[in-house]
Structure 1
Amino acid sequence: MMPEKIAKILCIVGARPNFMKIAPIMRVFGQHENVIAATLLHTGQHYDAAMKKSFFDQLHIPEPDIDLGVGSGSHAVQTAEIMLRFEPVLDQLKPTAVLVLGDVNSTISCALVAVKKGIPVIHVEAGLRSYDRGMPEEINRVLTDQISDLLFTTERSAEANLLREGIASERIYFVGNVMIDTLRYNLDRAAEPGMLFSAAGEAIDQAAFNSGYGLVTLHRPSNVDNPDNLKTLLTRLNSISEQLPLVFPVHPRTVQRIKEFGLENLLTSSRILRLPPQGYLQMLGMMKHARLVLTDSGGIQEETTALGVPCITLRENTERPITVTEGTNTVVGIDPEKIQASVDDVLATGGKRGRVPEYWDGEAAERIAQVIIKWAQGRIIKTQEAG
C-alpha cells in the first residue's frame, strides 16, 4: 500500500531568476500536498533582503523553510560555501529528491552535494545551451544536466541537446516553461508604468514617455565589466533615446561599473528614466507596455516572446533559440550599427510578430508535478518488489 506522502521534495532557490520559476511549482505542489511534501530552501546567493521580500510577496511564494545565508563571493567561494552549508541539511531532511532550477551557482552546488549522497536530482529548465563556455551559467547548465535523474525542458531543442550529450531519453520530459506560468498567472496584476513616469516628475520628458518607450536591462559581466563594451552600449542607448525614450532599471552590478568607469554622463538625458531594480510586477508591467526591449537577460527573452513584444538581445548568442526561431527575439551582440538597425526596424515595422511556443501555456508546473508523482510511485513499487 502506498504511503500517503510519496515524495519529499527539497526545492532550491538562490537568485532572482529562480524566484519566478519556483512560484508556480510551490503553488502546484501545494495543490498535491496529499502526495508531495515540499520544503523550500533559499541559499542566500542573492542576499538583498528587500529584493527577496518584494519577489516573495508579489509572487506569493511561501517564506523559505531554510535559509543558508551564503551571500556574495567569487564563483568558487560561493559554490563551496553553499555546498558546505547544504550537506547538513540533506543529512537531516533525507528528501526523496532535490529540485533545482535554471543555471545559477546554487543550482550546481546543491545538485553536486545531493548526487554525491545518493539523492536524486530534478532539474527544471534543463538542456538549454548557448555553447559559450565563457558564461559561468553554461558550465552550471551542462554539469547539472549530467548528474540529474529527471530533466524538465522548456523547448524541443533542449531535448536534442541532452540526447547529443548522452542523457538517456527516459530521463527527459518536455513540460513547457514555468517562467511563463508565472507571467500568465500575474499578467492582470502587472503594475502600470505610468505611475513610474509620474513619480519621476520633471526629471524626464513626461509627454515623450507617455507616447511610448523602450525598456533596457544590462547585467552580463561580458557587457558591464568591460569598460569599452559598457561605454559602447551606453553611448548607443543614449542615441536611441533620441528616437524612443528608454526606461532603464539598473542592476547593482551595472551601477557599480558605471561609477567605476566614469560613464554616468551617458545617462543624464531627460529621455532616459534611470531606476533602481524593480519588483516582478513592475517589470512585467513595463515589458507588457514597451514598444521594444533591449536586454542581455535570458529570462526576459522568454517573457517578451510570451508577451509578443519585440526583443533585441545584446549578446552574441542565446541559450533560448526558440525565442528567435518562433518568438520576437533578435540577437545582435553589441555592434552599434546592428543594434541601431534592429531598433529602426522595430520602430518602422513593429518588429518580429512571433508566436507563443508549444506548452508555454501556464501549465508547465502541473506537468512537472504529475511526472514527479509517477516517478516517486515507481520508486516505491520497485522498493516493495525488491523487499
Structure 2
Amino acid sequence: MKIVTVIGARPQFIKASMVSKAILHHDALSEVIVHTGQHFDANMSAIFFEQLCIPRPDYQLGIHGGTHGQMTGRMLIEIETVIQQEKPDCVLVYGDTNSTLAAALAASKLNVPIAHVEAGLRSFNMCMPEEVNRILTDQVSEVLFCPTQTALSNLKNEGFERRGATMLNVGDVMQDSAMFFAQHAIAPAGLAHQKDFILATLHRAENTDDPGRLSSIIDALNEAHHDIAPVVLPLHPRTAGMIELHGLKLDMHVINPVGYLQMVWLLQRSSLVVTDSGGVQKEAFFFAKPCVTVRDQTEWEELVTCGANVLAGAERETIVRMIRANLGNVVRDDAQLYGGGQACGKIAEYLANM
C-alpha cells in the first residue's frame, strides 16, 4: 500500500510526525512525503522536521506567498505531477490548509482515493478560508478519519452516509503527539525559570487582517500582562508584519516562533492559554490548561461544552474578563474526548487494510 502524504504547515508537521511513525512500523505500508512549502520560515518548518524526527520530505515544492487562489493553484499543479509520477494507492491529507485542499483536488481529478485526517470539523463560518478548505476536502475524500464524535455527527448530518464514504472516529492524532513528546519538552531561550504565565498565540486571518480586532486583542494582552499575570507571546511572522503595519505596541514578553518541543514546554508550564489557533485550543486541553479563544466560533465545540475553553471574541473588555474568570480553573479529561492517544495506530491499521 503506497501512500503519498501531503503536508505544508506547522500543525500538519506535528500530526504527520506520529502517523508517519505508525506507517513506518507497518510492513504493509510505504509512504512518500510531499512538503508544499506553505510554511517556509525556518522556525515554522525545518525545525519541526529536526525536532520531531519526521522523515525528510521526498518532494520539496517550495510554494508560498500570494493569494489563496494563487497558492492553491500552484500547489495543485505540482502535486498533480507528483501523483502521476508516484502512482500511489492513496493520498493522505491533514486538516484544513491550502496544501490540504490542493492535494485533495489533485488526487480527486486523478481518481486516487483520498484519506482525510481531522475530517468533519466545522466552525460554521464560511468566511474562514479553513472552513472552505475542510468542507471541500471532506466532499472528495473516500476515507474520513474523524477526531471526535462531534466531527462524526457533523458528517452524518451532512449526508455522508448516503454518499458511501467511510467515516471513522479514530481520535485525535494531536493527542498522540502531545503524550509522546511531553517528556522531551525544551525550554525556549531565556525562559527556563519562567512560571505562572499566560501563553498567547495569534495568527488567524480573521484577527490579523482586521485592524480593529487585532488592536483590541493586543490591548487585552497588554492589559493582562500588567494587571493579571505575565503574558508570553511567540510571535508568528505574519502577525508581526501586521502589527508593524498598523503601528501597534506589544507590551508583553514577545519571543520568536518556537519549535514544537518548546511549545510543549510553554504549554506545560503556563497557567492559561489565549489563542485563535484551532490546534492550540486542543493542546491546552491535552496539558490541562484553561483556554480563552479569541474567535467567535470554534471547531472544537466539545471543549466549550465541557468548560475547558471559552469563546471571547475580540473585544478587549471581554477577553480580559474571561482571562480573570478562567485563570486557575481545573481542566480534566475524564471522558477522553480525543481518544486517549490511540489515533495513529488506528489510522495506519485501516490504511493497511484498504
Instruction: Give the TM-score normalised by the residue count of structure 2.
Output: 0.95
Q: Which whole-Å CA distance do the structure 1 matches of 2:47 and 2:102 have between them?
A: 25
- Consecutive unaligned residues of structure 2, counting only runs of 5 or more, are none
Q: Which whole-Å CA distance do the structure 2 matches of 1:93 and 1:211 have between them?
A: 49
Structure 2 residue aligned with 1:182 = 177
Structure 1 residue aligned with 2:282 = 302
Query: Displacement of 1:327 after TM fit?
Result: 5.9
Structure 2 residue aligned with 1:14 = 8
SS of the residue aligned with 1:244? Answer: coil
Query: Displacement of 1:170 after TM fit?
Result: 5.6
Structure 2 residue aligned with 1:94 = 87
What's the CA shift string for 1:217-243, capped at 9, x where partnerless?
111112112222111111111111122
What's the CA shift string for 1:156-206, capped at 9, x where partnerless?
01111111212127610110011111111100111236x5236xxxxxxxx
Asked if the contact 1:329/1:352 (under 8 Å) is kept, the reply is no
Q: Which whole-Å CA distance do the structure 1 matches of 2:91 and 2:307 have between them?
A: 32
Between structure 1 and structure 2, the one with the greater Rg is 1
**CA 1:73–1:57: 2 relative to 1, 3 Å:** same
Structure 1 residue aligned with 2:231 = 246
Structure 2 residue aligned with 1:164 = 157
Query: Displacement of 1:50 after TM fit?
Result: 4.5
2:352 corresponds, among 359, 366, 373, to 373
Structure 2 residue aligned with 1:315 = 295
2:218 corresponds, among 231, 234, 259, to 234
SS of the residue aligned with 1:98? Answer: strand
What's the CA shift string for 1:68-118, capped at 9, x where partnerless?
111211100000000111111111111001000000001011111101111
**CA 1:49–1:340: 2 relative to 1, 3 Å:** closer
Tell me whether 1:364 sits opposite 2:349 in the alignment: no
Q: Which whole-Å CA distance do the structure 1 matches of 2:174 and 2:100 have between them?
A: 16
Structure 2 residue aligned with 1:380 = none
Structure 2 residue aligned with 1:218 = 202
Q: Which whole-Å CA distance do the structure 1 matches of 2:210 and 2:110 have between them?
A: 40
Q: Which whole-Å CA distance do the structure 1 matches of 2:307 and 2:142 have between them?
A: 30
Structure 1 residue aligned with 2:34 = 41
Asked if the contact 1:326/1:355 (under 8 Å) is kept, the reply is no
Asked if the contact 1:292/1:311 (under 8 Å) is kept, the reply is yes
What's the CA shift string for 1:39-92, capped at 9, x where partnerless?
111111112245322101111101001111112111000000001111111111
Q: Which whole-Å CA distance do the structure 2 matches of 1:358 and 1:92 have between them?
A: 40
Say how many residue pairs are matched.
Answer: 350
Structure 1 residue aligned with 2:148 = 155
**CA 1:246–1:50: 2 relative to 1, 3 Å:** closer
Instruction: Give the TM-score normalised by the residue count of structure 1.
Output: 0.87
Structure 2 residue aligned with 1:57 = 50
Q: Which whole-Å CA distance do the structure 2 matches of 1:155 and 1:50 have between them?
A: 30
1:325 corresponds, among 285, 299, 305, to 305
Structure 1 residue aligned with 2:333 = 355
Tell me whether 1:68 sits opposite 2:61 in the alignment: yes
Asked if the contact 2:195/2:270 (under 8 Å) is kept, the reply is no
- Consecutive unaligned residues of structure 1, counting only runs of 5 or more, are 1-6, 199-208, 376-387
Q: Which whole-Å CA distance do the structure 1 matches of 2:160 and 2:89 have between them?
A: 21
- What value does the CA root-mean-square deviation take over the aligned residues? 1.5
Asked if the contact 1:327/1:355 (under 8 Å) is kept, the reply is no
Structure 1 residue aligned with 2:190 = 196
Q: Which whole-Å CA distance do the structure 1 matches of 2:186 and 2:194 have between them?
A: 15
Identity of aligned residues (%): 39
Structure 2 residue aligned with 1:381 = none
Q: Which whole-Å CA distance do the structure 2 matches of 1:278 and 1:244 have between them?
A: 21
What's the CA shift string for 1:97-143, capped at 9, x where partnerless?
10000000010111111011110000000000000000000000100
Structure 1 residue aligned with 2:315 = 335
The one-letter code matched in structure 2 to 1:325 is T
The one-letter code matched in structure 2 to 1:255 is A
What's the CA shift string for 1:267-286, capped at 9, x where partnerless?
24xxx211111111111100
Query: Displacement of 1:372 after TM fit?
Result: 1.3
Query: Displacement of 1:353 after TM fit?
Result: 2.3
SS of the residue aligned with 1:241? Answer: helix
